[in-house]
């Protein structure tokens, strides 16, 4: 902590200020006792442009700044200043007091976290790209072989399993690619999509992989259209259907409910599975997050729902999760309707 007069000359400082600055300034020095100042981006900060100078020149208390002070020995400290003007009984400014908070540890932790996230994203992106081509090749060939009529059991059953697992792995790769592009532009081939048709295509694809699971579609979108990337829309629906299937007991039906609300097209996927506590709804869309109950019931990475949220956001929509009355979960999304309709 230190003080100045109305012209910016230092009048007092404590030992903590000396420790932060790494030097003992002379009384009367201007603005602050730092040896050198920098903005958080590394650009030099003139002493006459520091937050304390701004407060005195503009005769107001200043908040929301951060800076870096370099000491004479070359070490640096990140700090947050709180310059506050001081007035006399008549309201005339007579000086200012500045409290400097050392945030170096916090900044180092934040920089380390950012670096770790960057390395993680680079690693996931590299792995995903390296996996995409071979997985696509395996999936395509497995489907071709599984479709042949001259393949006898049990080989035919093995090929169906290979095709199913390759398709699941391909979905994981696509989700990883979506997540590693978070914060970066994603090329979307937006075209008019008849949403109820896309839903039925996605449900049909899901049912071929999971013939034992009954899926019922109800409601009506009346041929309404959304502007979206069809492939990403199918991935979104596949993730939500797969999530409902994974955490539902055998024999329970998955309900897909379609509707229109205030020019938003809604798709709600409802199950009778393990459900979740109301306070966990937001966490479910966090990458790699899984509830303890979910971990005990099924394997997984916890990336499908986070990829869903990113895709819906990119499409200008909203997504939600809610406990289903009577048990289970509801995962839904809404997309803005196009002005066009199919009929």
What's the pLDDT at 280? 84
What's the pLDDT at 290? 74
Q: Which homologous superfamily does the CATH classification assign to the domain defined by 2-102?
A: PAS domain (3.30.450.20)
What's the pLDDT at 187? 60
Helix (H, G, I), strand (E, B) or coil at 176: helix
Token couple for 254: 């998955």
CA proximity to 239, closest of 116, 333, 314, 335: 333
What's the pLDDT at 279? 80
Q: For residue 229, what is the enclosing H or E element? A: strand 225-229
How far is Cα 209 from Cα 227, in angstroms, rounded to an integer?
28
Domain 109-180 has CATH 1.10.287.130: yes
For 149-170, letters b (16+ CB in 10 Å) and e give eeeeeeebeebbebbbebbebb
Domain ranges for the chain: 2-102, 109-180, 190-336
CATH fold group of domain 190-336:
Heat Shock Protein 90 (3.30.565)
Same fold across 2-102 and 109-180: no
For the chain (length 343 residues), average pLDDT per consecutive 10? 96 96 94 94 93 95 95 95 95 95 91 75 68 77 78 77 75 72 62 92 89 92 87 90 90 94 93 86 81 68 83 91 92 89 58
Q: What is the pTM of this model?
A: 0.56
How far is Cα 76 from Cα 37, in angstroms, rounded to an integer?
9
Question: Would you put residue 74 in left (φ > 0), alpha (ψ -120 to 50) or beta?
Answer: left
């Amino acid at each position: 902590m230190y003080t100045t007069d109305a012209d910016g000359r230092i009048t007092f400082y404590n030992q903590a200020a000396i420790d932060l600055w790494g030097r003992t300034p002379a009384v009367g020095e201007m603005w602050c006792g730092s040896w050198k100042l920098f903005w958080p981006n590394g650009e030099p900060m003139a002493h006459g442009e520091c937050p304390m100078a701004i407060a005195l020149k503009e005769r107001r208390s200043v908040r929301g700044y951060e800076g870096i002070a370099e000491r004479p020995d070359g070490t640096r400290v990140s700090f947050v200043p709180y310059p506050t003007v001081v007035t006399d009984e008549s309201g005339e400014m007579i000086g200012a007091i500045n409290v400097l908070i050392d945030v170096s540890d916090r900044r180092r932790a934040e920089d380390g976290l950012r670096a770790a996230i960057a390395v993680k994203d680079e690693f996931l992106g590299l792995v995903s790209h390296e996996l995409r081509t071979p997985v696509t090749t395996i999936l395509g060939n497995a489907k071709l072989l599984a479709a042949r009529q001259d393949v006898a059991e049990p080989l035919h059953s093995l090929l169906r399993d290979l095709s199913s697992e390759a398709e699941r792995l391909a979905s994981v790769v696509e989700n990883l690619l979506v997540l590693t592009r978070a914060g970066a532009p994603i090329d979307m081939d937006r075209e008019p999509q008849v949403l109820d048709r896309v839903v039925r295509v996605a449900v049909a694809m899901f049912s071929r992989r999971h013939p034992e699971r009954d899926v019922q579609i109800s409601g009506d979108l009346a041929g309404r259209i959304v502007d979206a990337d069809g492939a990403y829309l199918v991935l979104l629906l596949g993730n939500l259907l797969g999530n409902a299937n994974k955490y539902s007991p055998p024999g329970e039906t998955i309900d897909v409910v379609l509707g229109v609300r205030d020019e938003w097209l809604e798709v709600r996927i409802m199950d009778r599975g393990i459900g979740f506590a109301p306070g966990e709804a937001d966490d479910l869309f966090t990458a790699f997050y899984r509830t303890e109950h979910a971990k005990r019931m099924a394997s997984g990475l916890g990336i499908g729902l986070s990829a869903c949220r990113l895709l819906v956001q990119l499409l200008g929509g909203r997504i939600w999760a809610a406990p289903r009355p009577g048990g289970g979960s509801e995962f839904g999304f809404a997309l803005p309707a196009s002005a066009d309709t199919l009929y």
